[in-house]
């Protein structure tokens, strides 16, 4: 995950400076990075992990890695192994609540003589809150932290989570107006690096643009969203926009999704109902799923399912699980787009009906046709 997310990483010095300042000024605490989807929260955290080698945990809803028990097992194991704590195996109650994690943090602080210990946790907004006790802090994060223990968190800015702590904390809003100049420069630097790629440079030259004009125009269209740049620069390089000039490129990440949605014929009349159903099944299942299972749930043939997966592969994460190729949604912003009220209504898709199909398939798998 770290290697993938830090590929082509650019800038963000002001964020790392803010983290360092918080560590200097506070004896312990929580530092939370907030922003809307696609702005680069996970990439910043991954780059920090790459630089420091700190303890890390990534919540990934699309892969089903977003339960409190999974988090506690992973982080407690990392703490025990890294600091040679005397636990040959995790106690039975280690993942029931935050008690054992809190105990380990106390032991680590004592063992390191209050030297800085950093734990990073990505995508709090993707945590399945039904996996923990009602009213508890998200992932059972401790209310108090020992001296020297710091936790860096990332989450979307439009999500409110149960998080009541007495430890020092700071919230860093990536989209705050006072950082606009720095964000703009990071985006420009990222695009400048991309202009060195052969396919991108050819596209620029064929339109008789300068690199400077290309960078300036694309920076505006990106709305400072790195996920937008990931897709659009990839499409330019792949020849998708060979018949368009720069003024016709989509604006913003949602604009990009809308453009692709229409380009793939998802709004044509009559509506491509089988394709729509397959896409929404993939999104609603919420974890990596095989084409065979998608076919069973959507009640569409395997060939149609594979055609849709191939058409939408740039938005999907493909991985091998138990000798099966499985697919999940690459980025949460695509799920957000598909759940937008106007998109759901235009697609004439009933999310409730899709989830009923999923539950029915699960029931049949467990109990047959009883």
Average pLDDT value for residue range 145-156: 94
For the chain, which domains are there? 2-175 (3.40.50), 190-263 (no CATH), 273-367 (1.10.10.10)
Average pLDDT value for residue range 252-274: 84
Average pLDDT value for residue range 20-46: 91
Confidence class for position 340, pLDDT limits 50, 70, 90:
confident
Mean pLDDT of the chain: 86
pLDDT at 338 over 70: yes
Separation in Å, CA 54 to CA 117, 119, 120, 222, 369: 8, 6, 7, 32, 50
Average pLDDT value for residue range 78-101: 92
pLDDT value of position 243: 80
Average pLDDT value for residue range 271-294: 82
Q: Rounded distance, CA 210 to CA 240, Å?
A: 20
pLDDT at 364 over 60: no
HSE at residue 293, side-chain half, CA atoms within 13 A, is 21
Separation in Å, CA 141 to CA 61, 239, 345: 19, 47, 39
What SS3 string covers 158-219?
CCCCCCCCCCCEEEEECCCHHHHHHHHHHHHHHHHHHCCCHHHHHHHHHCCCCHHHHHHHHH
- Write the pLDDT tens digit of every residue in 152-185: 999 988 888 999 999 999 999 988 777 888 889 9
Per the model's pLDDT, the better-predicted residue between 370 and 57 turns out to be: 57
- Write the pLDDT tens digit of every residue in 18-27: 999 999 999 9
Confidence class for position 358, pLDDT limits 50, 70, 90:
low
pLDDT at 8 over 60: yes
Query: Residue 170's CB: how many other CB atoms inside 10 A?
Result: 15
Strongest mean pLDDT among 274-278, 279-283, 302-306, 362-366 = 302-306
pLDDT value of position 212: 94
Q: 154 with 41: CB under 8 angstroms? A: yes
pLDDT value of position 365: 40
Confidence class for position 112, pLDDT limits 50, 70, 90:
very high
Average pLDDT value for residue range 61-66: 82
pLDDT value of position 344: 67
pLDDT value of position 98: 92
pLDDT at 91 over 60: yes
pLDDT value of position 352: 67
């Amino acid at each position: 995950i770290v290697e993938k997310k830090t590929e082509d990483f650019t800038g963000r010095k002001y964020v790392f400076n803010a983290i360092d300042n918080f560590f200097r000024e506070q004896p312990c605490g929580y530092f939370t990075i907030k922003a809307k989807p696609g702005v680069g929260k996970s990439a910043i955290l991954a780059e920090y992990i790459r630089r420091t080698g700190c303890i890390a945990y990534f919540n990934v809803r699309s892969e089903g890695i977003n339960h409190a028990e999974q988090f506690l097992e992973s982080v407690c194991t990392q703490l025990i192994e890294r600091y040679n704590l005397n636990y040959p195996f995790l106690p039975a109650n280690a993942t029931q609540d935050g008690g054992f994690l809190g105990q380990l943090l106390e032991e680590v602080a004592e063992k390191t003589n209050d030297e800085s210990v950093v734990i990073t946790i990505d995508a709090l907004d993707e945590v399945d809150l039904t996996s923990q006790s009602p009213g508890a802090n998200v992932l059972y994060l401790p209310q108090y932290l020992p001296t020297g223990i710091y936790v860096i968190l990332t989450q979307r800015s439009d999500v409110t989570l149960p998080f009541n702590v007495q430890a020092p904390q700071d919230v860093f809003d990536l989209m705050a107006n006072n950082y606009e100049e720095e964000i703009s420069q990071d985006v420009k630097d990222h695009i400048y690096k991309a202009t060195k790629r052969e396919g991108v440079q050819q596209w620029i030259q064929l339109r008789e643009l300068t690199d400077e004009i290309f960078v300036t125009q694309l920076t505006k269209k990106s709305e400072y969203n790195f996920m937008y740049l990931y897709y659009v620069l990839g499409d330019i390089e792949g020849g998708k926009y060979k018949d368009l000039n720069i003024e016709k490129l989509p604006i913003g990440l949602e604009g990009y999704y809308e453009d692709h949605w229409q380009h793939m014929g998802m709004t044509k009349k009559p509506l491509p109902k089988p394709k729509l159903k397959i896409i929404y099944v993939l999104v609603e299942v919420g974890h990596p799923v095989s084409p065979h299972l998608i076919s069973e749930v959507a009640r569409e043939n395997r060939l149609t399912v594979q055609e849709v997966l191939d058409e939408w592969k740039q938005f999907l994460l493909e991985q091998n699980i138990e000798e099966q190729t499985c697919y999940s949604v690459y980025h949460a912003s695509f799920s957000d787009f598909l759940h937008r009220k106007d998109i759901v209504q235009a697609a004439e898709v009933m999310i409730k009906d899709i989830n009923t199909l999923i539950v029915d398939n699960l029931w049949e798998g467990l109990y047959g046709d009883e």
